[in-house]
């Protein structure tokens, strides 16, 4: 964006002050709380107005790193997150390609808009809808019984599988959207050229399509991987007793056991790991891009 | 398209079928819920018998409708403030230095990147410490900061790409600063503001995590109410509420499409979180 030339020639100074409300909001309600989260993660026990902060301790971090459950929960959360992201790519890539290159141009926007409707309908309603389908005696279970795979009184609800299904369902639209906006920009002439020059379908995909869709893929991965790793609603509602994720543990610290300092420390560790994961994904994508040549 | 050459006919068909199946998967659960909202059976079973009883139940003072109404007014307030903040920030940034224009939009991404759970947790800690605790004010501020980036980024990119000439003309002809804003600038950025406002509204309506953490005890937004109902056992009037929500969301999307916003513009670099 070229800002300079769009700026009116005579700047009117008082307008500049209009940034203040938004800047204050951003600072006080997003950035400072994140900083406070770090501070509170060194506080022992609960944070309330009456007791205030009595002192700082490393206890929270020590108990996180010495416990056996937290690392395995973290591992599991990132594993589920990885699986959900991969599933979204596998399902979303061909679908995005179909919208961008196969469907008639005038229908494209409609398809994209349609595909984000489920993402904009409330997350809780989606969970509810899928619970209705997956419950024992529900439609999917009856269908599976008809196919002779399992009995309709069984249910995959309240298990890790159900959590993964719900998460894929929730985040798939974002992947389709991110990939579509990249794939759509690929010039059809380039595809024809690759074909004319004798490139097979696989070769065209690897050398032309994939490199050009890297930015969309990256955006999609970020949009999915990070929030999924921190999800707590899905394991709480459709997960079973052993489907806890790290988000559920953090949630428990604030709503059940009220050990807020420990919860803050967990959130802090999660944030740090997420940043590491972000850096890794970014680096990995760049490396892959250079290898394939985009 | 090189007349179907790069993509053979079979390949195109396969892609189309894949898209069809994906769309089917995405819409199947919603379609079933809509169907069930008109079904007599309480437990979502067949045979299908048409009824409107769940809508009657819903509108005769169910808790769900009360929460829906609360969520509606709440989201309306949040998204309106968010739209106003988006306009003021964008207009100010136009007159601010290049450095501001680099930093501010980047910082605006922070609430988008940080998961809503962590955002909710840190806000709860801060508000607890300040003595505000869980309250309408906390919930309002928390939701505001979660949706603000979306209305800001849409308005900002419009403000930065529009031509300054009409405003300059207005000013040369002697219009006051406010007059220029009301009659020229606002009209030019209106579609972007409307799109941002609608996006904020929809996102705020569904921002469960922050509401769950910051809502005062006894206050239930619609997502919170559904959360409670899901865990305690289902009420079939959820189907009716879900149907209404789907229709409203669908209409909002249609409206956004009509004003000329494509889906990727709306989300931009943004996301919803969990």
| CA nearest neighbour of A292 among A159, A187, A203 | A203
Q: Do A138 and B44 touch (CB under 8 A)?
A: yes
User: B-chain residues within 8 Å CB-CB of A8?
Assistant: 94, 164, 167-168, 171
Q: How far is A267 from chain B (nearest CA, A)?
A: 6
- Predicted confidence (pLDDT) per residue in A104-128, tens digit: 888 888 888 888 888 888 888 889 8
Three-state SS at A66: helix
**Residue with the larger pLDDT of the pair A275 and A146:** A275
B264 pLDDT band, cuts 50/70/90, is low
Per the CB < 8 A criterion, the answer to whether A163 and A84 are in contact is no
pLDDT, chain B, mean: 84
pLDDT value of residue B17: 93
Q: Do A230 and B118 touch (CB under 8 A)?
A: yes
Q: Do A267 and B262 touch (CB under 8 A)?
A: no
Q: What chain A residue is nearest to B130 in terms of C-alpha separation?
A: A49
A228 located within any domain: yes
The domain in which residue A258 lies consists of 56-292
Residue A85: is its pLDDT beyond 50? yes
DSSP characters for A102-144? Answer: IS-HHHHHHHHHHHHHHHHS-HHHHHHHHHHHHSTTSHHHHHH
Determine the residue among B29, B150, B260 to mutate to test chain A binding: the one whose Cβ has the most chain A Cβ atoms within 10 Å. Answer: B29
What mean pLDDT comes out for the span A226-245? Answer: 88
- Predicted confidence (pLDDT) per residue in B171-224, tens digit: 899 888 888 888 888 888 888 898 889 889 988 998 898 999 999 988 999 999
User: A-chain residues within 8 Å CB-CB of B41?
Assistant: none
- Integer CA distances (angstroms), A289 to A88, A195, A204, in order: 20, 22, 15
Residues 85-114 (B) with a CB less than 8 A from some CB of A: 85-86, 88-89, 91-96, 98, 100-101, 104, 107-108, 110-111, 113-114
- Which ipTM score applies to this complex? 0.83
Place of tokens 């543990």: A249
Q: Do B91 and A274 touch (CB under 8 A)?
A: no
Distance CA B197, CA B155 (A): 10
Distance CA A246, CA A72 (A): 9
A148 pLDDT band, cuts 50/70/90, is confident
Domain tally, chain A = 1
- Confirm or reject contact between B274 and chain A (CB < 8 A): yes
Q: Do A3 and B110 touch (CB under 8 A)?
A: no
A53 pLDDT band, cuts 50/70/90, is low
pLDDT value of residue A82: 94
A37 located within any domain: no
- Confirm or reject contact between B1 and chain A (CB < 8 A): yes
- Predicted confidence (pLDDT) per residue in B181-194, tens digit: 888 888 888 888 98
What mean pLDDT comes out for the span B12-30? Answer: 91
A36 located within any domain: no
| CA nearest neighbour of A78 among A90, A70, A68, A66 | A70
DSSP characters for chain B? Answer: --TT-SS-HHHHHHHHHHHHHHHHHHHHHHHHHHHHTTBS-TTS-SSP-B--HHHHHHHTT-HHHHHHHHHHHHHHHHHHHHHHHHHHHHHHHHHS-HHHHHHHHHHHTHHHHS-HHHHHHHHHHHHHHHT--SSHHHHHHHHHHHHHHHHHHHHHHHHHHS-SHHHHHHHHTT--HHHHIIIIIHHHHHHHHHHHHHHHHHHHHT-HHHHHHHSPTT---HHHHHHHHHHH---THHHHHHHHHHHHHHHHHHHHHHTT--HHHHHTT-----
User: B-chain residues within 8 Å CB-CB of A126?
Assistant: 29-30
Q: How far is A161 from chain B (nearest CA, A)?
A: 16
pLDDT value of residue B234: 64
pLDDT value of residue A265: 92
Stated pTM of the model: 0.86
Q: Do A267 and B164 touch (CB under 8 A)?
A: no
Q: Do A122 and B208 touch (CB under 8 A)?
A: yes
- Confirm or reject contact between B137 and chain A (CB < 8 A): no
A17 located within any domain: no
Q: Do B162 and A6 touch (CB under 8 A)?
A: yes
Residues 10-39 (B) with a CB less than 8 A from some CB of A: 11-12, 15-16, 18-19, 22-23, 25-30, 32-33, 36
pLDDT value of residue B162: 85
B148 pLDDT band, cuts 50/70/90, is very high
A52 pLDDT band, cuts 50/70/90, is low
pLDDT value of residue A189: 86
pLDDT, chain A, mean: 83
- Confirm or reject contact between B167 and chain A (CB < 8 A): yes
User: A-chain residues within 8 Å CB-CB of B1?
Assistant: 101, 188, 192
- Confirm or reject contact between B269 and chain A (CB < 8 A): yes
Closest partner CB to A129 (pick from B108, B111, B242): B242
Residue B144: is its pLDDT beyond 90? yes
Residue B18: is its pLDDT beyond 90? yes
- Predicted confidence (pLDDT) per residue in B64-106, tens digit: 888 989 999 999 999 999 999 999 999 999 888 888 888 998 8
Full set of structural domains in chain B with CATH: 62-267 (1.10.3720.10)
Distance CA A75, CA A91 (A): 24
Q: How far is A189 from chain B (nearest CA, A)?
A: 7
Residue A167, domain CATH? 1.10.3720.10
What mean pLDDT comes out for the span A84-95? Answer: 95
Per the CB < 8 A criterion, the answer to whether A207 and A123 are in contact is no
- Flag the least confident range among A150-154, B33-37, B249-253: A150-154
A46 located within any domain: no
A244 located within any domain: yes
A185 pLDDT band, cuts 50/70/90, is confident
A75 located within any domain: yes
Residue A11: is its pLDDT beyond 60? no
- Predicted confidence (pLDDT) per residue in B40-75, tens digit: 776 656 667 788 888 888 888 778 888 989 999 999
Q: How far is B213 from chain A (nearest CA, A)?
A: 9
pLDDT value of residue B274: 32
Q: How far is A79 from chain B (nearest CA, A)?
A: 17
Sign of CA dihedral B208, B209, B215, B218: positive
Closest partner CB to A16 (pick from B27, B92, B252): B92
Residue A257: is its pLDDT beyond 60? yes
Three-state SS at A226: helix
């Amino acid at each position: 964006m070229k800002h300079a030339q769009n700026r009116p020639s005579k700047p009117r100074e008082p307008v500049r002050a209009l940034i203040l409300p938004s800047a204050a909001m951003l600072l006080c309600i997003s950035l400072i709380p994140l900083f406070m989260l770090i501070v509170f993660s060194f506080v022992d026990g609960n944070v309330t107005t009456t007791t205030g902060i009595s002192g700082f301790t490393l206890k929270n971090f020590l108990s996180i790193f010495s416990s056996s459950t937290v690392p395995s929960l973290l591992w599991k959360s990132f594993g589920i997150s990885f699986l959900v992201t991969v599933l979204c790519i596998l399902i979303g890539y061909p679908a995005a390609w179909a919208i961008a290159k196969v469907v008639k141009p005038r229908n494209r926007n409609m398809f994209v808009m349609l595909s984000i409707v489920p993402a904009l309908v409330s997350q809780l309603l989606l969970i509810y809808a899928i619970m209705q389908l997956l419950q024992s005696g529900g439609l999917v279970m009856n269908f599976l019984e008809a196919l002779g795979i399992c009995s309709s009184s069984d249910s995959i609800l309240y298990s890790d599988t159900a959590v993964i299904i719900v998460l894929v369902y929730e985040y798939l639209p974002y992947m389709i959207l991110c990939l579509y906006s990249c794939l759509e920009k690929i010039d059809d002439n380039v595809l024809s050229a690759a074909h004319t020059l004798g490139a097979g379908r696989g070769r065209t995909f690897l050398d032309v399509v994939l490199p050009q869709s890297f930015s969309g893929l990256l955006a999609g991965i970020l949009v999915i991987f990070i929030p999924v790793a921190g999800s707590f609603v899905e394991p709480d509602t459709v997960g079973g007793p052993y489907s806890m994720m790290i988000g559920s543990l953090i949630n428990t610290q604030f709503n059940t056991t009220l050990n807020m300092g420990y919860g803050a420390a967990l959130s802090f560790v999660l944030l740090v790991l997420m940043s590491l994961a972000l850096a890794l994904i970014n680096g990995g994508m760049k490396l892959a891009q250079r290898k394939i040549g985009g | 398209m090189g007349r179907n050459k790069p993509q053979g006919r079979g390949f195109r068909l396969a892609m189309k079928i894949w898209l069809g199946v994906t769309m089917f998967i995405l819409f199947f659960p919603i379609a079933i819920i809509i169907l069930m909202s008109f079904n007599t059976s309480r437990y979502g079973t067949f045979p299908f018998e048409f009824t409107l009883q769940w809508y009657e139940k819903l509108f005769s003072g169910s808790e769900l409708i009360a929460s829906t109404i609360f969520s509606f007014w709440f989201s309306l307030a949040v998204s309106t403030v968010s739209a106003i903040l988006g306009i003021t920030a964008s207009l100010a940034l136009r007159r601010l230095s290049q450095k501001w224009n680099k930093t501010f939009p980047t910082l605006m991404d922070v609430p988008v990147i940080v998961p809503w759970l962590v955002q909710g947790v840190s806000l709860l800690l801060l508000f607890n410490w300040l003595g505000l605790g869980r309250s309408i004010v906390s919930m309002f501020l928390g939701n505001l900061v979660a949706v603000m980036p979306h209305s800001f980024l849409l308005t900002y990119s419009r403000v930065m790409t529009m031509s300054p000439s009409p405003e300059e003309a207005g000013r040369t002809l002697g219009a006051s600063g406010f007059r220029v804003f009301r009659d020229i600038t606002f009209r030019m950025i209106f579609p972007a503001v409307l799109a941002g406002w609608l996006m904020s509204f929809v996102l705020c309506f569904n921002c469960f995590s922050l509401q769950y953490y910051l809502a005062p005890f006894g206050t239930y937004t619609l997502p919170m109410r559904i959360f409670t109902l899901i865990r305690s056992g289902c009420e079939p009037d959820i189907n009716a509420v879900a149907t209404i929500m789907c229709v409203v969301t669908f209409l909002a999307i249609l409206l956004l499409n009509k004003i000329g916003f494509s889906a990727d513009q709306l989300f931009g670099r943004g996301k919803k979180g969990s």
